[in-house]
Amino acid sequence: MPDEHPSKCPKLQFEEINHDPGSRKQICEFPIDKQDEIRRAYIEKGPYQPKNIDYPYNDDTHRRRFQPSWFNSHKDWLEYSPSTDAIYCLPCYLFSKKLIGRPESDAFISTGFYNWKKVKDRMNCPLVRHVRKEPNSPHKIAVKCCEDLKNYSRHIDKLIEKQTSKELENNWLWLKTSVECARWLAFQACAFRGHDESLDSKNRGNFIELIKFTSTFNDKVTSVVLENALGNAKYTSPTIQKEILHILASNVRNVIREKIGDAKFCILVDEAWDESKREQMAIILRFVDKEGFIKERFFHIVHVRDTTALTLKNEICAVLSHYNLHIENIRGQGYDGASNMRSEWNGLQALFLKDCPYAYYVHCMAYRLQLALVTASREVKDVHQFIDHLVNIINIVIASSKRNDEFLIKMFDTTCKVINTISEEGANYKQRGDAEGAYQILTSFEFILILHLIKEIMGITNVLCQALQQHFQDLLNVMHLISTTKSLIQELRDNG
């Protein structure tokens, strides 16, 4: 049974809804994006039809007043307002617009109808005229709007959703295929793009070819990928590939950040030019996980406009700040020292030490070994000349792929044969002359002696170099390895 007194709808939190038709706001006065929600609240509550109240007389002579029996005849729309002693039409209030020159319509919407004398006129009863039988009458249109609003499945958004649900499903399957293929290629460190990705190409690149291969195992995937996909939803463009990789990279960095937690960590940084001659800075984080194991994870690569110490520090701090890693938790810095001549890396470690005095700097041990070997080779004239001659010989041999294969397979003996052949059958006098000179050097006693010597030394130092690049090494163990290597080289000098 409808409420006996005006009430307010509890489901609408943004504004109070009054069910007394004589004191409520007009629908047009509410925000346009809230009007349908307000209409649903009124429809759910139904017309306000108080019955157990005293209806006042508006004519003392004829003692006419509202009759509750009228609710039975017009129960679907008729409303009564105790505050104005007038009747209204709920559907017309919800959906009809004010019609200029139509006072009767205004009466049932805003002003209210209270001429009870006319209601007794059966032929011209305003209540009967209001719901006249014309299918396009304002009341009939308003009632139809109420029915549509109650029938959620007929809303335009639901109709569109039904029409596009299949497209959404297909697009999701297609996108999932692209994401999984991108994940596999990234995990295997494979290139994505091909030189020719046109439809006529026999090899359209790893990304597209992997999608084609995947689709052969699933007919449903086949029906939505590549040429079977919608024209605007192929998800194979370079932009889409980069977006997928960016999302995957962000997820990986978030996992790394989660594993670090609030623990202390070290930063390892290196910079180099990429193929497009842009300066790139790689950032690696070294930390101890919750199980007590040392972890070293590549974290980010950042383009830097220059390699000054302040620029590098600002870029590193920006990355750390983005992932809520605090500088005061840094307990170590590691750089390769390649920029020492420009004082950039020394300056960088000094800047971090100002902010965090416990961020101790360690020069990359593997690179220090490399610098030591290069410096030592330059100081020994015969070794320096050997390296120059070796570079020249290699350049001559690898001038053709055929000679290069022979050089790699047979090594010294084959190299001698190849260079001798070039000296006799070279394309021009310069090539023949260079090959002749290289052959004489290659077969000389001094070259062969130093070749064997360098092989022994490099064999010893290469073991150390590989050990220094292991992520689980610590400083104490490194010092022990260096000491052992020095002993082996001294043993070679004394007794080799």
User: What domains appear along the chain, each with residue ranges and CATH number?
Assistant: 27-150 (no CATH), 165-236 (no CATH), 262-361 (3.30.420.40), 369-495 (no CATH)
The structure's pTM equals 0.48
CA-wise closest residue to 261 among 214, 324, 349: 324
If one counts every other C-beta atom within 10 angstroms of the C-beta of residue 24, the result is 21
Mean pLDDT of 182-191: 87
User: By three-state DSSP, how is residue 306 classified?
Assistant: coil
The pLDDT of residue 399: 57
Strands 330-335 vs 265-273: parallel, antiparallel or unpaired: parallel
Res. 2 pLDDT band, cuts 50 70 90: very low
**What long-range pairs does 104-111 form, CB within 8 A, spacing at least 24?**
104/129, 104/130, 105/138, 109/26, 110/26, 111/86
pLDDT at 345 > cutoff 60: no
Please say whether the beta carbons of 94 and 27 come within 8 A: yes
CA-wise closest residue to 320 among 373, 359, 357: 359
Lowest mean pLDDT among 43-47, 58-62, 161-165, 459-463: 161-165
CA-wise closest residue to 193 among 252, 239, 230: 239
Higher-scoring residue by pLDDT: 131, 406: 131
User: By three-state DSSP, how is residue 88 classified?
Assistant: strand
Res. 6 pLDDT band, cuts 50 70 90: very low
pLDDT at 187 > cutoff 50: yes
The pLDDT of residue 402: 43
CA distance 376 to 444: 23
Burial class (CB in 10 A: 0-12, 13-18, 19+), 335: buried
CA distance 368 to 374: 10
Mean pLDDT of 120-145: 76
CA-wise closest residue to 176 among 244, 110, 121, 252: 244
The pLDDT of residue 309: 79
Please say whether the beta carbons of 486 and 415 come within 8 A: no
Encoded tokens for 5? 């007194």
The pLDDT of residue 159: 56
Res. 230 pLDDT band, cuts 50 70 90: low
Mean pLDDT of 377-399: 69
pLDDT at 338 > cutoff 60: no
Higher-scoring residue by pLDDT: 234, 372: 372
The pLDDT of residue 5: 46
CA distance 310 to 351: 8
CA distance 259 to 299: 12
**What b/e sequence results for 49-68 when a residue is b if at least 16 CB atoms lie within 10 Å of its CB, and e otherwise?**
bbeeeeeeebeeeeebebee
Encoded tokens for 7? 């009430």
Q: Could you tell me the strand order of the sheet in which 279-288 lies?
A: 294-303, 279-288, 265-273, 330-335, 361-363
- Checking phi first, is residue 394 left (phi over 0); if not, alpha (psi -120 to 50) or beta? alpha
Q: What separation in angstroms does the CA of 183 have from each of 165, 209, 248, 257, 456?
A: 27, 14, 8, 20, 43
pLDDT at 288 > cutoff 70: yes
Helices of type H across 120-237: 126-130, 138-150, 156-187, 206-215, 219-222
Strands 330-335 vs 361-363: parallel, antiparallel or unpaired: parallel
Lowest mean pLDDT among 2-6, 91-95, 172-176, 238-242: 2-6
Q: Which residue has the tokens 């346009």?
A: 32
Encoded tokens for 268? 């390892």
The pLDDT of residue 155: 55
Q: Which residue has the tokens 């397979």?
A: 409
Q: Which residue has the tokens 């007929």?
A: 154
pLDDT at 386 > cutoff 80: no
* Amino acid sitting at position 243: E
pLDDT at 114 > cutoff 60: yes
The pLDDT of residue 99: 45
Burial class (CB in 10 A: 0-12, 13-18, 19+), 439: buried
Mean pLDDT of 37-46: 85
The pLDDT of residue 202: 80
